[in-house]
Amino acid sequence: MYVALAVQSHLIYAIAHKKSALHGRRAKWPSKERPHHIGRRMGLFHSRQRSKSCWSIGMRKKELSLPHVYGLLEPGPVVLLATSMKGRNNVMTLSWHTMVEFEPPTVACVLGNGDYTFSILKKTRECVINIPTLELAPQVVACGNASGRGIDKFEQFGLTAKAATTVAAPIIDECYASLECKVVDTRLVNKYGMFMLEVLKAWVDPSNKNPKTLHHRGNGVFMVAGDTIRLPSHMK
Ligand SMILES: Cc1cc2nc3c(=O)[nH]c(=O)nc-3n(C[C@H](O)[C@H](O)[C@H](O)COP(=O)(O)O)c2cc1C
């Protein structure tokens, strides 16, 4: 679906720009043709439904049970959150996170208070957010289905811990990117299990130009990052 939507928006954009592209320059939406005209031509919605709403694609929707909502909104990528306490490393799988600030880069992460990592993070106030790609999918699932209370997940699941520079928590060598973080705000921890993390140092594998990150849709279903498209945008 991810790829399908990306391809769809790409097509809409390509059609909208067809005329001007022929003349070698970019333009706004062609004067008489609007996104809903193009969408209609592509069969995204029916012309009669436009009087109610031009985005009447929604008429095809069915109710979704509320426990499944998270699978629609989870942005991913799924990460491996590594911690360390008293010289012992641990790692858990996490997909409930979001950026909350550009600079300094600040990330909100939601952890269940039953997770071993929750108590480590509360005590040590530091971690490394490691971003895995498709090759690590088995480890991603394994680290999310076992607690580090009784086992060493690095050893058990074949992950390599490398020393970070600003925190005691480890970088996972097999991941394509790693973010060294400290906890900067715990005000929402008791209510939502939400830790605010500031990224102190970031590492990325420059050879991986199109990382196939994993995006959890719930119940063990993952989307794999696919095609990349570039559109004109003022968003940095
Ligand atoms: C794909 C996936 C995503 C997950 N996302 C989260 C999450 O966002 N927050 C969370 O608390 N647990 C999440 N989990 C569950 C934890 O990873 C799991 O409870 C883990 O065993 C905790 O390990 P720990 O006890 O060693 O800290 C996820 C598990 C999977 C498989």
Convert the pLDDT of each residue in 116-158 to its tens digit: 999 999 999 999 999 999 999 999 999 999 999 999 999 999 9
**DSSP three-state, residue 226:** coil
Structure tokens at 159: 């992950």
Ligand 1, pocket residues at CB < 6 Å: 78, 90, 92-96, 110-112, 115-117, 141, 144-148, 216
Q: What is the average pLDDT across 172-181?
A: 97
Calculate the alpha carbon distances from 121 to 112, 118, 201 in Å.
12, 5, 18
CA 144–ligand 1 middle distance (angstroms) = 4
Q: Could you tell me the distance, in angstroms and rounded to a whole number, from the CA of residue 233 to the centre of ligand 1? A: 35
- CATH code at 68-205+212-222: 2.30.110.10
Q: Is the pLDDT of residue 47 over 70?
A: no
Residue boundaries of the structural domains of the chain = 2-61, 68-205+212-222
Structure token pair of residue 72: 């629609």
Task: Give pLDDT tens digits for 192-204.
Answer: 999 999 999 999 9
How far is residue 109's CA from residue 112's CA, in Å, rounded to a whole number? 10
Pick from 92, 147, 217 the residue to mutate for probing ligand 1's pocket: most ligand atoms within 8 Å of its CB.
Answer: 92
Q: What's the pLDDT at 51? A: 39
Atom 16 of ligand 1, residue of closest alpha carbon: 144
pTM for the structure as a whole: 0.78
Q: Select the more confidently predicted residue: 27 or 66.
A: 66
For residue 91, give the ligand 1 atom closest to its CA: 26
| The ligand 1 atom nearest the CA atom of 120 | 27
Give residue 12's pLDDT band: very low, low, confident or very high (50, 70, 90): very low
Nearest protein CA to atom 30 of ligand 1, as residue: 144
Indicate the burial class of 167 (C-beta count within 10 angstroms; 0-12, 13-18, 19 or more): buried
Per-residue pLDDT, 54: 39
Ligand 1 atom closest to the Cα of residue 216 is 1
